[in-house]
Amino acid sequence: MPKVEREVVVVVTRVLKQAVSSRLTVRALSLCGALVGTLVASSFVSGATLPPDSVDLMYHNYDGGGMKINGPSLLVRKSIGPQVSVTGHHYVDSISAASVDVIASGASEYEEERTEMSGGVDFLYEKAILSAGYTNSSENDYEANTAYFGIAQDFFGDLTSLSLAYARGWDDVGKRDQDRSEFEEANRQNYKLGVTQVLTKNAIIGLDVDVITDEGKLENPYRSNRFIDPGDATNFLVQEENYPDTRTSTAFGLRGMYYLPYRASIKAEYRYFNDSWDIQSHTYDIAYSHAFQESWIFEVSYRLYTQDQAEFYSDLFPFANSQTHYGRDKELSTYDGTTIGFGVSYEIKQGVIPFVKRMQFSLQGDYLDYQYENFRDVTAEGSFLPGDEPLYQFDAWVTRTSLIVEF
């Protein structure tokens, strides 16, 4: 799988694992989709070369926590001479939501579709690759636009690769059936620095630093928080969330890969995240890949994610407007999750199919298990006082099937 496309799958999967509510998923996928062209720094491939001409088809499916998200993805890449490569990407999400957040706010299950279109260009100059592109993601209550630019440069005999990337997003946020003129703005900027170093013929290491700034309408207009009913302590009432208008996030990622002598490799990664809302998280990943015969590749992985809550989060507030900012989104709470992944790929080499250099079929799946420490399930059956409901937990499956054809 070409390095950019491989990282797209990794990023999409990571976002789905961490953003299991529909609105967060849509926002994050929009930004990640626009950064496709800047992900060269994250891959373990040295040497400044343009990826081959290819057509990539993928179908993704997420099912868990009352959410179902699925749809196709098509990516086409074509070279124009030896120095220029252009990319077009079409991505569709069909979303069906009856999550605990939706039910708790008193809303009914809803269905909607998100369509994403993007285009990009890579320019190869000596040992450097310059990338630029634009992405639009649209649905009936959210419009996201993002432009990006990145540069990657090899040094020291192609053993060291340095990359810089910048993306700017401007979104319009509203509700279904709301007039577009009443939508509110959310602006985002992402700065990325990446370094990859070949240590030995079998080992490689990489370091990434991301800084993201957000400003504007950052809360979900559909989500609400709850507070104790002042007239009845055995009941609770709800009100719309109110987040700060700004957010600054920083993430550090350290990863390494080691090639084993029996046609296998092991990859490990650690990622630390913190932001101005006082959220901190740690991600630990380990993956093992093994080639079998000439055409098969099998993969297994394990992932652990832990997070501390935002400073303005609470599962149950004492009364309405009890503080300046307040939110009950479960993704702002304290929780941890584990993911077990698997994958199998089959590759057809050059010469088997006329005019095709390589064809690869892939099936990948992840099982997610998430446990929340201070977010309670108000949909649980039984008679509970506010704040005494069972803690929320859920599991989910994420699957991707893909076909890659290189010409």
Give residue-wise pLDDT tens across range 193-220: 999 999 999 999 999 999 999 999 999 8
Phi, psi for residue 351 in degrees, rounded to 5: 105, -20
The confidence band for 388, taking pLDDT boundaries of 50, 70 and 90, is very high
Residues 6+ apart with CB under 8 A from 2: 51, 52, 54, 77, 404, 406
Q: What is the 8-class DSSP label of residue 317?
A: B
The amino acid present at 205, given as its one-letter code, is I
Q: Provide the CA 28 distance to its chain's centre, in angstroms.
A: 6
Burial zone of 351 (CB within 10 Å; 0-12 exposed, 13-18 middle, 19+ buried) = exposed
Residues 6+ apart with CB under 8 A from 249: 210, 211, 212, 213, 214, 273, 274, 275, 276
Gap between the Cα atoms of 33 and 88, Å rounded: 11
Arithmetic mean of pLDDT, 67-80: 92
Gap between the Cα atoms of 71 and 157, Å rounded: 42
Gap between the Cα atoms of 29 and 38, Å rounded: 15
pLDDT at 264 over 50: yes
Q: Hey, which of 83-97, 323-337, 344-358 has the most confident mean pLDDT?
A: 323-337
pLDDT for res 104: 65
Gap between the Cα atoms of 114 and 247, Å rounded: 25
Phi, psi for residue 374 in degrees, rounded to 5: -145, 30
What interhelical angle do 22-34 and 3-18 show, nearest 10? Answer: 160
The confidence band for 59, taking pLDDT boundaries of 50, 70 and 90, is very high
pLDDT for res 220: 85
Gap between the Cα atoms of 337 and 347, Å rounded: 33
pLDDT for res 106: 59
pLDDT at 40 over 60: no
Arithmetic mean of pLDDT, 282-291: 97
pLDDT at 353 over 50: yes
Task: Please list, residue by residue across 307-322, b when 16 or more beta carbons sit within 10 angstroms of its beta carbon and e when fewer do.
Answer: bbbbebbbbbbeeeee
This prediction's pTM: 0.85
CATH topology of domain 3-406: Porin (2.40.160)
Q: What is the 8-class DSSP label of residue 346?
A: E
CB contact at 8 A, 392 and 101: no
Arithmetic mean of pLDDT, 20-27: 34
pLDDT for res 111: 77
pLDDT for res 4: 29
Gap between the Cα atoms of 405 and 391, Å rounded: 46
pLDDT for res 5: 30
pLDDT at 18 over 50: no
pLDDT for res 405: 93
Arithmetic mean of pLDDT, 302-329: 96
pLDDT for res 187: 95
Q: What is the 8-class DSSP label of residue 19?
A: -
pLDDT over 70, % of the chain: 85
135 vs 355, higher pLDDT: 135
Q: What is the 8-class DSSP label of residue 381?
A: S
